[in-house]
Structure 1
Amino acid sequence: MEQHTVSFTVPKDDFSSALAWVARSLPSKPTQPILRGVMIVADDDGLELSGFDREVSTRVRIHAEVDEPGRILVAGKLVSDIVGSLPNKPITMRYEGTTVTLSSGSSRFELRPMTIEDYPVLPELPTPTGSINPHLFSQAINQVAVAAGRDDTLPMLTGIHVEIDGKDVVMAATDRFRLAVRKFEWNPSESSSKATLLVPARTLHDAARSLDQGFTNDVTIAVGSGENIGREGLLGIETDSRHMTTRLLDAEFPKFRPLLPNQHSALASVEIAPLLDAIRRVSLVADRNAQIQMEFSSDSLILSAGGSEVGKATEQLDCAFTGEPLTIAFNPSYLKEGLSAIDSQRVVFGFTMPSRPAILIPEPQELPEADAEGNFPTPDTKFTYLLMPVRLPG
C-alpha cells in the first residue's frame, strides 16, 4: 500500500447503495482475482468508489468525513454484503498495516486488503454525445433488452443495436425467436450526430435498473463527437454522482427492418392485464415453455394449453378482432415478456398467417382501416415486439 493509514466515517445508507451499485457489475469468476475488488479513494471531497473488470467500469462519489486520506482496495461483493447487513448507523473504515477494520455500533469486521499496485487504470469517459431523460432511457432499454440473446457464442445477438441519427434514436435486440424495436428522441450535442453501436445488453439493462432509483437529472451518453462517434469502442453513461463505461461489441447486428411486416391480414386488440393472468393460469398444465394456443375470432380469444398426461386448460377472453379467424401458438415465456414490455393498457396483435411472425404493439388511438385487398397497414408505433410462432400440433 502507498500510505500507512486511511480512515473515514460514512453514512450507512449512502455507503451501502454505492457499494451495491459498484459490486453488481463485478465478475463472480474473474480472470484475475484483483478484478473482484472495489477501489475506495478517500480525499477532501469524500469518497470515490470504483470497479473495473476490463469490460465495464463503474465509479460513484459520496460524502464522507475523511480523517486520513488515501486508497483502499477491498473484495467488493464481500464488503457490500457486510455493509448491507449492518444497522443504520455511521460506519467507520480504517486501513492500517495489513488490516482493514470496518466498524458500526457494536459490530466490527477485520478484512484483508487487496494489493493496489496491480489494479488496472479505469478508462475515461468519451466526449459527451447527448443527453436523455433517465426514465425514458430506462424504459426504452427495458423494452428491448428482453429480446436480447444470452448465448455468448453469438455475440452479435447479446447486444442492443443503437442507431443515432440527430435527435432520433432506434434501439433493437433479437435472439432469433423475437425482435424488439424502440424509437425515441433525445438531446444530441450535435444535430448532425450519426452512429451505429452495439452495446452489451446485460450492461445496459443493469444501467437501466440503477437509473430507476430516483434520478431526475438528464443522463449524459458519451460515445464521442463528430466523426469520432463510436471510434473509441467505448460507451459512457453519466448521471448525478455516478458514471460507468462499457466496451462496445465488435460484431454486426442482423439487418432487422426487412423482418417487420408492413401490412397484416388480421388485427386483434386485447387488454393486457387479464391476458397475462390467463396465460399464467393455462400454462400451469403445460410442460415447461410448451406452446400456448390462441384462437382468435370476431369477439373472443380462447387460450389453451396442455393436452398431455397432466391435463388441459382453456380460458376465454374478450377481444376486438378484425380479419379472418385464425389459431396461432407461441412460447408462453416469450409471449409474457413481450406483453410486459408494452406500456399501454391494451395490446394490438398484427397477424399475416399462423406460420409467420406476429407483432405486438401498444394500442394506438385509432386502428387502421383495411385496404381494398382486406389488409391492414401496420399502425405507427414507437415500440414493436415481433414474435415467432411455434408449430401447431397435427
Structure 2
Amino acid sequence: MKIRLDRDVMAEAVAWAARSLPTRPSLPILAGLLIKASGSGVTMSAFDYETSAEIEVPATVVDEGEALVSGKLLADIARSLPNKPVELTSDESKAELVCGSARFTLQTLPVNEYPNLPEMPAATGAVVSSEFAQAVAQVVVAAGRDELLPVFTGVRLEIEGDKLSLLATDRYRMALKELTWNPANSQASGAALVPAKVLNETAKSMTSGETITMSLSSGSMGDGLIGFEGDGAGGTRQITTRLLDGEFPKVRHLMNITPKLSVRANTAEIIAAVKRVALVAERNTPLRMVINSGDIALEAATGDQAQASEAIEASVENHEGGEPAITAAGFNPHYLSDALSAVDAPFVHFSFTAPGKPCLVTGLDSIDGEPRADYRHVIMLMRLPN
C-alpha cells in the first residue's frame, strides 16, 4: 500500500476513528486501526465487536492495499506532524510514514486476524445533525452509569412516523425529547435501546454535515444493530453499535404530571444560584427549595460548618387554592443543575404535586408562556428532614 494525503485530513480522520478504540482491548488485534486504500480513496476503521467506526477520506492512492497499525500510536503521531503532505507506505511487516523531514516506522498487525466490520443496515430515516446532537445532549444527562444495570445506561429511541423520541432514566430522574425527522417510510415505527455513551459521542462527532442518516436492523431491531452515517470535514463517517438487551422501564407516564403547585423563574439566575448554594451541600443531602408567594429560596448546609441560602424572584401559582400542596422541596443538587442546563430555554417551569413526589421540569420561552412540550425532565424529590 502507498498513499499520499493532506496532513490535516489524516490527523482528523485518525483521531475520529481512534476514539472508538477500546481502552482495554480484549484482544491485542482490536487495538489496531485498519487502513484500506482503493481507487475511491482511503478508509480508516476501528472495531471492538460492539461498536465500529469507519471514515472515508480523499487521498492519492499510488498502490492499493491495507495495513493494520496501533491506532493510539498513529493518532499521537498524526497529531504531532508538521503541516506538510503525508506519505504512508506499508508491506507485510511494517508501515512507514513520512511527513516533511519527519519519518516514522511502525510494526503492522496481521490484517487477516482482524474481524470483519458489520454491514450498515438499510436506512430508516434522516435527521438534522445539529438538532439530533442537541436532543441527545439533553437526554443523556439522565442515563445511568452503573454497568451492573446496563438497561439504564442506554437511551431508548422510539420511532412513530415522522416523530423521533429519545428517553433515558437512571431511576432517579428521567428525560424525554421529541423531534421531527424524515423517515424512509412514513409508516415506520419501532424502538431501540442504544448505549448512551456511544450515542452521545456519535451525535457530537457528526455535526459537520447537515444531516445524519440512521439505520436500524430489520424485524423490530432483529439482530440488535443500529448505524449512523454523516458527512464530516474530512469525509463520510459511519458508526454502528450493538443495541442493549433488556426491557426498558415504562416511565413515560411519569412525564404526565398535573401540577398542584407551579414555580416559574429565570433559568440563568437559578442555575447560577444552584451552583453557589451547592458549594456547601453535604454529600447525599438535599438542596432545599423553599417556595414563597413571590420568590423561592435555595438552601444547603454541611452540618454546622457551613450554610448557604439565596433568594430568587419567581412566579408561584397554587392550582388548588387553600394551603399550598408543597412549601419546600428537596433536590439532588447535581440532578437539578443537569436538568436546568438541559432545558435550553430562558425561563424554567417546575410542576409539583406533593412532598417526595416527582417534579417535572420544562422550559418556557417567556415567563407567562406555555411550557414547552418537546423536552421534559422529571426529578425524583429527596425527603427533607423534619
C-alpha offsets along residues 58-86 of structure 1, whole Å, 9 cap, x if unaligned? 11100112222210111112211221122
Matched residue of 2:108: which SS? coil
What letter matches 1:391 in structure 2?
Answer: R
Deviations 1:78-124 (A, max 9, x none): 21122112232222222245222223233222221111111000111
Cα distance in 2 for partners of 1:46, 1:230 equals: 32
1:393 offset after TM fit, Å? 2.3
Instruction: Measure, in 2, the Cα distance between the counterparts of 1:350 and 1:364.
Output: 16
Q: Kindly indicate whether the alpha-carbon contact (under 8 Å) linking 2:359 and 2:381 is maintained by their aligned counterparts in 1.
A: yes
Q: State the partner residue of 1:160.
A: 155
Counterpart of 1:78 in 2: which secondary structure? helix
Partner of 1:373: none
Q: Among residues 214, 220, 224, which one is paired with 1:221 in the alignment?
A: 214
Q: Which moved further from structure 2: 88-97 or 42-51?
A: 88-97
> Amino acid of the residue matched to residue 229 of structure 2?
E
Deviation at 1:275, TM superposition (A): 1.4
Equivalent position of 2:21 in the other structure: 26
Tell me the distance in 2 between the aligned counterparts of 1:357 and 1:171: 20
2:351 & 2:87 partners in 1: Cα distance? 59
- Matched AA of 1:350: S
Which of 64, 67, 89 is 2:62 aligned to?
A: 67
Q: Structure 2: how far apart are the matches of 1:381 and 1:173?
A: 17
Distance 2:364 2:166 in 1: 20
The equivalent position to 2:229 in structure 1, one of 217, 238, 243, is 238
Q: Give the match's secondary structure for 2:142.
A: coil
Q: Deviations over 1:172-211 (max 9, x none)?
A: 1000010001111111111111112111111111111102
Q: Which residue of 1 aligns with 2:350?
A: 349
How far is 1:367 from its partner?
A: 5.7
1:372 matched to which residue of 2? none
Q: Percent identity?
A: 38
Note if contact 1:159-1:199 (Cα within 8 Å) is conserved in structure 2: yes
CA distance in 1 between counterparts of 2:163 and 2:351 reads 25
Contact 1:289–1:332 (CA under 8 A) maintained in structure 2: no
CA distance change for structure 1 residues 337 and 289 in 2, over 3 Å: closer, same or farther?
farther
C-alpha separation in 1, matches of 2:256 and 2:298 = 25
> What are the Cα deviations for residues 194-229 of structure 1, in whole angstroms up to 9, with x where unaligned?
1121111111111111023x222x21111146xx24
SS in 2 for 1:84: helix
1:185-334 equivalences in 2 (<5 Å): 185-212=180-207, 214-216=208-210, 218-224=211-217, 228-240=219-231, 241-288=236-283, 290-323=285-318, 324=324, 326-334=327-335
Q: Please tell me whether the aligned partners of residues 282 and 302 of structure 2 are also in contact (alpha carbons under 8 angstroms).
A: no
CA distance in structure 2 between the aligned counterparts of 1:308 and 1:262, rounded to whole angstroms: 34
Partners of 1:252 and 1:97 in 2: how far apart? 47
User: Does residue 46 of the first structure (1) align with residue 41 of the second (2)?
Assistant: yes
In the alignment, the residues of structure 2 paired with residue 194 and residue 268 of structure 1 have an alpha-carbon distance, to the nearest angstrom, of 36
Question: Distance between the aligned counterparts of 2:101 and 2:289, measured in 1?
Answer: 60
Residue 337 (structure 2) aligns with: 336
Q: Displacement of 1:8 after TM fit? A: 1.6
Q: Secondary structure at 1:317's aligned position in 2?
A: strand
1:131-159 Cα deviation digits (max 9, x unpaired): 11111111111111111111111121111
TM-score (norm 1): 0.91
**What SS does the aligned partner of 1:389 have?**
coil
1:230 alignment partner AA = M
SS at match of 2:115: coil
Distance 1:97 1:171, change over 3 A: closer
Alignment of 1:135-154 (within 5 A): 135-154=130-149
SS in 2 for 1:173: strand
Q: Is the 8 A contact 1:223 1:232 kept in 2?
A: no
SS at match of 1:153: coil
Greater Cα offset, 202-211 or 271-280: 271-280
Distance between the aligned counterparts of 1:274 and 1:13, measured in 2? 42
SS in structure 2 of the partner of residue 50 of structure 1: strand
Q: CA RMSD in A?
A: 1.8
Q: Counterpart of 1:279 in 2: which secondary structure?
A: helix
* TM-score normalised per structure 2: 0.93
1:341-364 per-position Cα deviation (integer Å, ceiling 9, x unaligned): 112111111111121110111115
Which secondary structure state, in structure 2, belongs to the residue aligned with residue 264 of structure 1?
A: coil
Which shifted more, 90-99 or 251-260? 90-99
The answer (yes or no) to whether the contact 2:41–2:58 under 8 Å persists in 1 is yes
| Offset, 1:379 | 4.6
Q: Give the distance between the partners of 1:107 and 1:318, measured in 2 at CA.
A: 62
Residue 3 of structure 1 corresponds to none
One-letter amino acid of the counterpart of residue 386, structure 1: V
Would the aligned equivalents of 2:163 and 2:179 in 1 still touch at CA under 8 Å? yes
Structure 1 residue 282, shift from structure 2 partner: 1.4
2:81 is equivalent to residue 80 of structure 1 = no
How far apart in 2 are the matches of 1:90 and 1:25?
25
Q: Name the SS of the counterpart of 1:202 in structure 2.
A: helix
**What residue number does 2:321 align with?**
none
